[in-house]
Structure 1
Amino acid sequence: MAIDSPSWLKSSVIYEVFVRNYGNAGTFNDIYNDIERIKALGTDILWFMPFYPIGKVGRKGTHGSPYSIKDYEEISKEIGNKRDFKRLIDKAHDNGLKIMIDIVFNHTSLDSKLVETHPEWFVKDENGKLTRKVEDWMDVYDLDYENKDLWDYLIKVLDSWVDLGVDAFRCDVAPLVPLEFWKKARERLNQKKEVIWLAETLDPKFIHDLRTRGYNVHSDSEVYQSFDLTYDYDGFYYLKSYFSGERDLNHYFDHVFLQNTIFPKNSIKMRFLENHDNPRIASVLEGKNKIKNWTVFYNLLPGASLIYAGQELMMEKLPNLFEKDPIKWDKGDYEFLSFFKKIVNMTKEIKSTCDQFSIRELSEGIIMIKWSGEEDEYTTILNLEDRYGEIPVDFTLYGTDLITNEIVSIQYFFVISKLPIIIKTK
């Protein structure tokens, strides 16, 4: 279905929120009161991590994992109710935001409503006991898609959330759920309106390990048959190796090229530096200037960009998924916020008007990115390793840096800038 995905998604921005830990109250009101700020960041889609009632049996931590869901059809009372959520949806729509919710259809909590009412809908071991594919996920049981009544029920769940005003679904570990189910769900739901589908595709090692154990796990290429966007975990695999010193950056650049050739022509990746499952980028990289360069880098990659709430303030602490652990907004870096907001909106504009992307390493850690379209062309130079000095170059570049409004002139040699440079060359 990637060929039918709306074109605006290629430059879209998705903002991820975990209601429990967004503010001190931990309710929908925290986000309701922040809608205008979220929109001003350049956000198109506001993604809510699971807000459903959480199972108590086998619960991780005090409050439990939001991905161990007791009831797909309800909202946790601590967070609010459907009336509160509808009020928030309406305000988001009034501000030009689409609402995405998390769908976790691979598994439920150990004491879910479905375990009680339909135990036949679950995977069982050789002894007939309910079980799971991933042993570490001890607080869940996996659903068994051999039962087509389950399919009908889950599609009705999706339908009810669309009726409430939801515009998009982020589907947790989507490759572990049969592709034919997602195709059927998309076909049914998209008859109502344009629904956006984001698949949490998987780290290559995770896919390999599960396939080695005999499970049918879909590749990103397969998933694009029913999803508009997929995670960049296949690429992030190389970025993590770079951050840990195991590989150089060219491994990631080569993979970005591969993505453009082995996936469907109009396929869209969701790029990120952090999310609720990965460390804050400010805890991985040292120095504000370095983080600024990497912020420009990931936002200029082809595809949608993800912001995990708090990233825009260079937060270092990742909120605990299992506890009450609200973001401390007053501790954020507001100079960085101003930069971040400017970059997100600028890079959105660049990607929306251009369709040709290229990237190359001028010297170790010094990167040039080019975006060009019918009328516009942009050249960006990034210092991803906080280097200094000068390097020889094989190009001439002259223009105004869109970030600082200062004139930049490069010929024969480039005096390495600590900050990113973006120049409109046409």
Structure 2
Amino acid sequence: MRIKDILKILCSSLLLLNFTGCSSDDDPDMPPPADDITTDGMVIYEANPALFGETQALNGLTAQLPRIKKLEANVLWLMPIFQQGEKNAVGSPYCVKDYRAINPAYGTLSDLKALVTKAHAEGMLVILDWVANHTAWDHAWTTEHKDWYTQDANGNIVSPPGMGWDDVADLNYDNTAMRAAMQEAMLYWLTEADIDGFRCDHAEGVPNDFWKETITKLRAAKSTLLMLAEGSQTALYDAGFDMLYAWNFAYKLQDVYAGSASVANLYDTHRSELASVTDKRLLMRYSTNHDMASEKSPVQAYQTKEGAFSAFVASISMGGCPMIYSSQELAYDKALSFF
């Protein structure tokens, strides 16, 4: 399918969707919004620090905050800034060696504090990407607290079962001491760097009762906390998260541009994701993210620069909280791995 044909279909379908699917007032299947939704009016900018400098990346990001602000972003989501593991590693920032240490390639704690201070001055919140499901194999816990990890029948620590993530070790949430240590590490960043919340990686891999207890404690420390879960299970709302992913929409949107799905399929996906959501602002909307951009840049996924832009417009026209992934505003034309 040619891009101009896709654009025509999207333009006509978006008109329909704006009348039938994007307003809780006009949509009989959409529950009315809550009186006080903290996510109302938010636009998230997902920043991969590695894209802002081979060294001193946090300072490079701080320097670009005015430009990011011009994109109407008011929430800065920092992909994991922590010291990365080296044992069995594949270069992923989601392989965390120390929850309280910043990756030296990115900068220092003082650099992070300066970034947060500048972001707050720009009217922006700052949330950290938190990896609670697993750690690096050379995290100190693997030797100091082996019982904090999931083990096989022979007592060997294992990777998260069924995920193929061999670079990380699976944490055991039956262990109350480990839970307490995880909570303390999260609280550290609220008090030490004035962080405004967390995007929680693979949130569905961690028990909801942990999230509920932890978010309650975090909110006791900072009432305006923003909690974003990487997941789509609505039980995460009950655990205290403010926002989930519109998980399937972006992938189906790419299928439409590839000609393997129809706009009707896209609309069905949209309606399905709204089915259990009390307010559509509680869904994060995007046309790409760090995972998707590692496989195809938006320009590749949506055929052209114009296609990439129209796909972003389509995604944020469906209601919800828009998210921009760092680099997509530059129309980067090649896959950009975050590893």
TM-score by length of 2: 0.83
Change (3 A) 1:28 1:271: same
Structure 2 CA distance for partners of 1:49 and 1:12, relative to 1, 3 Å:
same
Structure 1: segments with no counterpart, 5+ residues: 202-218, 323-426
Shift of 1:50: 0.6
Query: Are 1:152 and 2:165 an aligned pair?
Result: no
Mapping of 1:377-396 within 5 angstroms?
none
Q: Quote the residue 1:209 is aligned against.
A: none
Using the alignment, how far apart are the partners of 2:305 and 2:51 within structure 1? 25
Query: Judging changes above 3 Å, is the alpha-carbon distance between structure 1 residues 234 and 286 closer, same or farther for their aligned structure 2 residues?
Result: closer
| Identical-pair percentage | 30
Aligned residues: 300
Residue 219 of structure 2 aligns with which residue? Answer: 190
Bigger CA drift: 96-105 or 6-15? 6-15
What residue identity is the alignment partner of 2:168? V
Counterpart AA for 1:157: A
Matched, 1:321 2:338: yes
Q: Do the aligned partners of 1:221 and 1:264 also contact (CA within 8 Å) in 2?
A: no
Determine the structure 2 residue equivalent to 1:280. Answer: 297
Task: Rate the CA distance shift 1:313–1:228 in 2: closer, same or farther, 3 A.
Answer: same
Please state which structure has a larger fraction of its residues in helix: 2
Structure 2 distance, partners of 1:286, 1:239, is 12
Partner of 2:23: none
Cα pair distance change 1:290/1:77, threshold 3 Å = closer
| Distance in structure 1 (CA, Å) of the matches to 2:144 and 2:48 | 29
Q: 2:236 is matched by which residue type in structure 1?
A: V
- Displacement of 1:26 in angstroms is 4.9
Q: Distance in 2 between matches of 1:236 and 1:251?
A: 12
Specify the code of the residue in structure 2 equivalent to 1:85: L
Equivalent residues of 1:50, 1:67 under 8 A apart = yes
Q: CA RMSD in A?
A: 1.9
SS of 1:157's equivalent? Answer: helix
Moved beyond 6 Å, runs of 4+ = none
Q: CA deviation at 1:5?
A: 9.4
Write out per-residue CA displacement over residues 97-150 of structure 1, whole angstroms, 9 at most, x where no aligned residue.
100101000000111121122111000112211112135211001100000111
**Rg larger for:** 1
- Are residues 1:228 and 2:256 paired? no
Instruction: Provide the C-alpha distance between the structure 2 equivalents of 1:20 and 1:287, rounded to a whole number of angstroms.
Output: 25
CA contact (8 A) 1:59 1:139 kept: yes
Do the aligned partners of 2:254 and 2:302 also contact (CA within 8 Å) in 1? no
121, 138, 149: which one aligns with 1:111: 138
Contact kept? 2:302, 2:311, Cα under 8 Å? no
Letter in 2 for 1:198: L
Question: How many Å apart are 1:288 and its aligned residue?
Answer: 3.3
Given that 2:39 and 2:281 are in contact with CA atoms closer than 8 Å, whether structure 1 keeps it comes out as: no
Q: Distance in 2 between matches of 1:266 and 1:198?
A: 14
| Structure with more of its chain in strand, by fraction | 1
- Distance in 2, Cα, partners of 1:42 & 1:85: 22
| TM superposition shift of 1:45 | 0.5
* Change beyond 3 A, Cα 1:265–1:45: closer
Counterpart for residue 16 of structure 1: 46
Which of 177, 181, 193 aligns to 2:210? It is 181
**TM-score of the pair, normalised by structure 1:** 0.67
Work out whether residues 14 and 306 of structure 1, in 8 Å CA contact, stay in contact via their aligned partners in 2: yes
1:250-294 deviations in Å (ceiling 9; x for gaps): 122122223333223466111111111003211112233333322
Among candidates 240, 255, 263, match of residue 249 of structure 1? 263
